[in-house]
Structure 1
Amino acid sequence: MAILPGDLDQLALKFEVVLPHLNERQRRLLMAAEARLLGHGGVRAVARVAGVSESTVRKGVFELEDGGDVLPDGRVRREGGGRKSVEEQDPRVLPALLALVEPDERGDPESPLRWTTKSLRRLAEELARRGYRVSPPTVGRLLRENGFSLQGNAKTLEGKQHPERDAQFRYINEQVKDHQAAGDPVISVDTKKREQLGRLPNPGREWRPKGDPIEVEDHSFFFSGPDVEQAIPYGIYDISANAGWVNVGIDHDTSTFAVASIRRWWQARGRLDYPDASQLLITADAGGSNGYRFRVWKAELAALAAETGLAITVCHFPPGTSKWNKIEHRLFSHITMNWRGRPLTSHQVVVNTIASTRTRTGLRVDAELDTASYPLGVTVSKARFAELPIHAHPTHGSWNYTIHPALAAADRPPVVGTDRAQIRAAALRALADSRLTGMTEAQLDDLARRLATAQAARAEQRTFHQRGGERRRAKGAGSHSLLSDADRVLITVVYLRQICSQKVLSDMLEVSDFTIGYWIAETRKLLTEHQVTVPATTVRFTTAEQLRSFLDNDDVPAQRPRISETLSHPALTGMSREELRQMIERLTPLQAARLERLRYQRRGGERLPGARGGIFQQKITDAERILAAILYQRKVCTRQVLSELFEVSPRTIGNTLIETRPLLEHDAYNPAPAPTRHRTAAALLASISPC
């Protein structure tokens, strides 16, 4: 029977509607059924209408005629149909792949993939280089079937643990429970990573209109240096109330800033949430601005305790366990997720983003901007720190301590940050005494004016290198130093006159000795460039108390008597005092150069900024070293006697003899032995007749 054109049109319409919804086998069987209904020529007609090959339709007809079992749901072919997998065709492929991705000790140490990224494409290329034809998707399938997955690094290695780590964790837990049971606040504090402001990329993604990403800078080194605005979030997390409070600073992350943040939290939230509180528990890291070693941290907490009337207990986590601090995963992590993918362009953006942080567990966060200045280099003198009412706990007292406000000295209350400027100004006025500087007030002011231009130029050059270019903000918009240019000249003059050490100046001014040393080193270079010589004095002060006593009562400390004048007697040296003086003048520069070369080799380079640089006299001077070597070579006495006479250790005398002997040989010094060798210092001194 002939196939009518109208039948083919109806069949084409049916195929157009039905075939797109069928799988491969279903389409084949439908076309075969239609071909059988059309009779002779049906296979060719159906193939032409459906746009497939005749062999496909004919294969479907054979399947219908065979009458096989119905295939399970989801299968298109019978078991065993299709191409064999690559691991079945070549069983060596899987071991070769595992040797590339398993740990190095089990893999090939010479593999080029050992030091590169092991992506699917690189693994497939390496297998092809070894003679295995495998596609990247097949590599991925084999890895998943053998228990592999994409994984990042796991931050679980904590290094060497502190021996009292677990005991400290248990103690902190007990303290938290006791304070919570009493209804007192328990807070966790820490500083979040400082953020540079500007159109800088922020990790993460957020929903935006397609094809409209936020445009940010491709390089961040333009946003570096002292003039770049930054945000320093210091967080306080109330463990009991599940509430956060963040103080966003703009200056420096110092201990003063940390306690100021806690003070602002107490004034804004703490006293309202805990009106009947009598004590406060703070859990903090062992380092950072709230580290347990910092005197300023504890001194500022003592001032806070005196202001609020709270007994403040601080428990520090052991070193290396900062991630155990609850603020990290209860507050900071949510803040980071809240501003992901959003450039922090201003302080207001930072504050508003932090304040809008919320969680499904009920976390609420308040944030404020702190525009106060918190300069670096502030410290607390030992005497003032000793007066603080800090009481260490029996369990690891350096990590756990309580500050009771009622026990503070009534006549000397704790000093807050604003009072330190007055203390520093009073100390600078005391150091400007003409008995210390060797100058009148007018002479000191004139010296400061002479150096002012050079100081400003050097400061501008230093900041230019730090920021890597021209200023981006007006001059003076940043933080201010603790010491003015005139103050730096003053402390340098006092130091060069050998009045006291840098530590004594640090104790007097309550400025860190590193800051003192840095500015002394900088100002000393300017004095050298301007050919200003500061003569040394004979008065020495080893403590700040001695210096204050001298200024108040004119009490001069006892000095170690110099015995070199007595030991330079011709009967001991075998030469006249004038000949000895000339020898010392010849050898002293050589000795200084030799000593400096030796010190250079020991430290492996130039002196660090702030190093003393040989300003202070040592316990035994260069001239005394030469004198001691002459006496020893003449066999006037033993090393032990020299040690007693010069009031130094026998080891120092031994080093002196080793260092000075080559200089005497270079000077062709060949002394005649003394007639008597003295075994005691008293016998040697008794043998000298007045000269």
Structure 2
Amino acid sequence: MAISQSIPQQLASRLGALLPHLNERQRRLLLAAEARELGHGGIRAVSRAAGVSETTVRKGIAELANEPTPLPGGRIRRPGGGRKNAAAKDPGLLPALLALVEPDERGDPMSPLRWTTKSLRHLADELTKQGHPVSATTVGKLLCGNGFSLQGNAKTLEGKQHPDRDAQFHYINNQVKEHQAAGEPVISVDTKKKEMIGQYHNPGREWRPKGEPIDVEDHSLFFRGEIQQVIPYGIYDIAANTGWVNVGVDHDTSAFAVASIRRWWNNRGKGDYPSAKRLLITADSGGSNSPRYRLWKSELAALAEETGLAITVCHFPPGTSKWNKVEHRLFSHITMNWRGRPLTSHEVVIKTIKATRTRSGLRVEAELDTRAYPIGVTVSKEYLDSLPIQPHAIRGAWNYTIQPHGRCTEHATDRSPRVIQSEVLEMLSHPVLTGMNREELTRLVALLAPAQEAKAEQRNYDRRGGKRRRAKGAGGVTVITPAARIVATLVHLRGICTMPVLQDFLGVTRSGLQQATRETRAILAEHNHTVRAIDLRLTTTQAVRDFVASAGSLQETAPEEALRHPAITGMSHTELDAITTRLATRYQARLQEIRHKRRGAELKKDPGAVIYRKITDEGRVLAAILAMRQVATRPVIADLFKVSPRTIGNALVELRPLLKEDGYNPTPVHRAQRFHSAEEVLRYVETMEESNAHSEP
């Protein structure tokens, strides 16, 4: 039956209204249903009315006949249709991709991408090289489908957690609440990151006219010491929500940290808390306010004595410094306030810090501190034990209270290292310790001072990698004065006391003292100044003080001075000193070689160590000379030096080759002239000295 003229028009109007709202499969099925309803000629009529091909209509009719029920899951096409997935076409593609992106500790250690960025393009290129051609887009789809995503580093690792970590947090919280309830001040302190002064990049961005960024240096030579820096030390008052920043320019030492707290108290604290009797300080466990530093506790004791406050300090466990309030209540806001702004001068730093404000009411004050805080200053254990420091019953290493009553006022009124050393140098300069009177010592210091200055300048030149860029004197002061270097070196070379004892006396670090004595020893050798060691050993500072107080004379346990008589050695004192000086370096090298062979391993060297021996190196040289001249038997020589015959034998074995290399090969004395006891030797020397005294006009 033929289709009437009105049906295509009605059909076109109906399909035009419905088709835009249907998906591909629904449109196809609707057209098929309309064509089947029209009967013969319906396919062509529907095709013309909808503007589609007849094949599409026929495909819909077939789907209605073969698939009378809807497809599962709201699908448009049957499963398996379309182009095959890349992973399905290449079964080895996905395993190869996963091997490349596995974490380094689980992946292929020989992977070329182990040490480069694993971008989609790099991954696609590497897979193509391995025989799996694929695009970067496909790689991204495969990664997303297998649970991968772009991720950065997560700052969650805090190192090994201390077993008392949580308990310490609770203890600090209780201490803060108790002090605040009593109306006592509670402050959080720490040192902010050092900042460079100059036209240098500062992270962050600020609104500026388009295309007009602030020009800064593209790099800095900070490691060469050519850039000034500032050290902001922050004090945050937890209750008042106020901050104080002491901006230093020298070194971040414990003295600087406590000086910053002192400035806060004098300028702000005592005004905010006029009736305060106690002060609680919360600090981390590192940097200049570390609980391990004696100087930190010593300076706090001085502050307690000065202010009359009982100062309690609670330290956060190691690795938890970010829990300290000053970090996220003060420092973070300062950093945001000067973001994208070069810190071109001290004034810019101070004003920027002062301008820091928050909606919660934070107000910050800042001052520039141009005073010097030299490094290398230490406090003796004896002095620390005398301070009124009371460890708490709970984790006393982290929690302690310093009472304001103690003998620390004199110690802290002037922390200048030169003042600390004055009385000590006066005592160490005693002739019984240095081996020379004070006039000779003064002349020696004046003689060596230029050489010491030259050594210091050369050392600083090597550290900077070039000439100084700032005027001399701009920066820290020298902790060890020239006189202290000379005196410490003389006492050390004479072997009177150990390096730790000298360290406690002078209030300096061991490394600084070792460097000073090492340089001064070289200068003494350059000026042909010989320092003869003795066998006296004083192991504590109190032993040295007691010995000097008693004005004891340094009588040798072995009468080496008597044995130096030319009648015994066969040479003058000058010749004996010269040969001893020439052998000193080679003898030490030979000793190291002998010890190496005995131990079978390298000897760990400590340039500042003192080796305790019953006989000095000079004494060994003298004993070897007497043994080679055969003025007495080895037991007699051993009796003279108060050592065993084996020690004399070892000295002869060690020194005979060196003496022969130096040209010393004496003829043994006649048998009849040999001595058979120590008393005979000393009596003979005494007789010779008396005869020389009578022969003088």
TM-score for the superposition, normalised by structure 2: 0.70
2:271 is the alignment partner of 1:286: no
Output the CA distance in 1 between the equivalents of 2:180 and 2:646. 60
Structure 1 pair 607/22, CA: closer, same or farther in 2 (3 Å)?
A: farther
Could you list the per-position Cα deviations for residues 492-512 of structure 1 after superposition, in whole angstroms to 9, with x for gaps in the alignment?
A: 443454376665655555444
CA distance in 1, matches of 2:226, 2:339: 25
Counterpart code for 1:620: I
| Residue in structure 1 matched with residue 110 of structure 2 by the alignment | 110
Aligned counterparts of 2:159 and 2:647: Cα–Cα separation in 1: 41
Match of 1:494 among 483, 487, 503: 487
> How far apart are 1:250 and its partner, in Å?
1.3
Query: What is the percent sequence identity of the aligned residues?
Result: 48
1:481 partner letter: V
Find the residue that maps to 2:255 and give its secondary structure.
helix
C-alpha separation in 1, matches of 2:364 and 2:561: 75
- RMSD over aligned CA atoms reads 5.8
> In structure 2, what residue type is equivalent to 1:231?
V
1:372 to 367, 370, 373: 370
Is it true that 1:482 corresponds to 2:482 in the alignment? no
2:139 counterpart of 1:139: yes
Alignment partner of 1:595 out of 584, 588, 596? 588
Quickly say closer, same or farther: Cα 1:150–1:106, change in 2 above 3 A: same
**Given that residues 350 and 368 in structure 2 are in contact (C-alpha distance below 8 angstroms), is that contact kept between their aligned partners in structure 1?**
no
Residue 692 of structure 2 corresponds to which residue in structure 1? Answer: none
- Rounded to whole Å, the distance in 1 between the matches of 2:616 and 2:555 is 13
Distance (Å, rounded) in 1 between the aligned partners of 2:561 and 2:527:
34
Contact kept? 1:283, 1:316, Cα under 8 Å: yes
How far the C-alpha of 1:121 sits from its partner, in A, is: 1.4
| Equivalent position SS for 1:236 | strand
Q: Which residue of 1 aligns with 2:94?
A: 94
SS at match of 2:297: helix
What aligned pairs does 1:351-362 form with structure 2 within 5 A after superposition? 351-358=350-357, 362=360
Tell me, yes or no, if the aligned pair for 1:591 and 1:660 is still in contact at 8 Å: no
Q: Report what 1:348 is aligned to.
A: 347
Letter in 1 for 2:387: L
Total equivalences in the alignment: 636
Deviation at residue 373 of structure 1 after TM alignment: 1.8
Aligned equivalents of 1:663 and 1:445: distance in 2? 33
* 2-structure distance, mates of 1:43, 1:631: 130
Q: Deviations over 1:452-499 (max 9, x none)?
A: 8x83x65555544444445544x146214235xxx8442344345437
- Counting only pairs closer than 5 Å after superposition, residues 268-667 of structure 1 correspond to structure 2 as 268-358=267-357, 362=360, 364-377=362-375, 379=377, 381-382=379-380, 384-405=383-404, 407-409=405-407, 413-417=410-414, 421-424=418-421, 436-439=437-440, 443=443, 447=447, 451=450, 455=453, 461-469=458-466, 471-473=468-470, 475-476=471-472, 478-482=474-478, 488-498=481-491, 506-522=503-519, 525=522, 532-534=527-529, 536=531, 542=538, 555-557=550-552, 559=554, 561-563=556-558, 565=560, 578=570, 589-590=582-583, 592-596=585-589, 598-599=591-592, 611=607, 619-625=614-620, 659=654
2:128 is matched with which residue? 128
Code of the aligned partner of 1:261: S
Would the alpha carbon gap of residues 204 and 77 (structure 1) be closer, same or farther in structure 2, given more than 3 Å must change?
farther
Tell me the alpha carbon deviations over residues 502-526 of structure 1, each in whole angstroms, 9 at most, x when there is no partner: 6565555544454444345445555
Any stretches of 5+ residues in structure 2 without a counterpart? 1-19, 32-43, 685-697
CA, structure 1 residues 533+124, in 2 after alignment: closer, same or farther (shift >3 Å)? same
Instruction: Please state whether the residue corresponding to 1:281 is helix, strand or coil.
Output: strand
Q: Deviations over 1:149-177 (max 9, x none)?
A: 22333445555555655655554444344
Change in 2 beyond 3 A, CA 1:385/1:658: farther
The DSSP-based 3-state class of the residue aligned with 1:114 is coil
SS of the residue corresponding to residue 140 of structure 2 reads helix
Q: State the shift of 1:212 in Å.
A: 3.9
Write the letter of the residue equivalent to 1:415.
Answer: A
CA contact (8 A) 2:251 2:476 kept: no
Range moving further from structure 2, 131-140 or 596-605: 596-605
Alpha-carbon offset, residue 219 of structure 1: 1.7
Offset, 1:24: 11
238 and 671 in structure 1: CA distance in 2 versus 1, 3 angstrom threshold: farther
Amino acid at match of 1:374: A
CA distance in 2 between partners of 1:387 and 1:496 (Å): 29
- The answer (yes or no) to whether the contact 1:584–1:626 under 8 Å persists in 2 is no
Alpha-carbon spacing, 1:25–1:526, altered in 2? closer, same or farther (3 Å): farther
Give the AA of the match of 1:99. Answer: A
* 3-state DSSP of counterpart to 1:332: helix
Secondary structure of 2:586 counterpart: helix
Which residue of structure 2 lines up, in the alignment, with residue 677 of structure 1?
A: none
Whole-angstrom distance in 2 between the partners of 1:104 and 1:313: 47
Structure 2 partner of 1:266: 265
Seen in structure 2, the aligned counterparts of structure 1 residues 569 and 189 have a Cα distance that, compared at 3 Å, is closer
By how many angstroms is 1:416 displaced? 3.2
Q: Is the 8 A contact 2:635 2:645 kept in 1?
A: no
Q: Is the 8 A contact 2:232 2:247 kept in 1?
A: yes
Separation in 1, partners of 2:533, 2:315: 46
| Cα separation, partners in 2 of 1:594 and 1:429, compared to 1, 3 Å | closer
- Mark the CA change 1:181 to 1:284 in structure 2 (over 3 Å): closer, same or farther: same
Q: Any conservation in 1 of the 2:557–2:642 contact (CA below 8 Å)?
A: no
Summarize the alignment of residues 148-167 of structure 1 with structure 2, pairs less than 5 Å apart: 148-159=148-159
* Contact map agreement 2:372 2:477 (CA 8 A) in 1: no
**TM-score in terms of structure 1 length:** 0.71
1:146 positional shift: 1.8
Q: Is residue 255 of structure 1 aligned with residue 249 of structure 2?
A: no
Give the direction of change, closer, same or farther, for the CA distance of 1:60–1:421 in structure 2 (3 Å limit): farther
CA contact (8 A) 2:357 2:364 kept: no
Instruction: Measure, in 2, the Cα distance between the counterparts of 1:510 and 1:141.
Output: 67
Question: Compared with structure 1, are the counterparts of its residues 515 and 627 closer, same or farther at alpha carbon in structure 2 (3 Å cutoff)?
Answer: closer
Structure 1 spans left out of the alignment, 5+ residues:
1-20, 33-39, 48-53, 675-682
Are 2:558 and 2:642, in contact at CA under 8 Å, matched by a contact in 1? no
The equivalent residue for 1:14 is none
SS at match of 2:515: helix
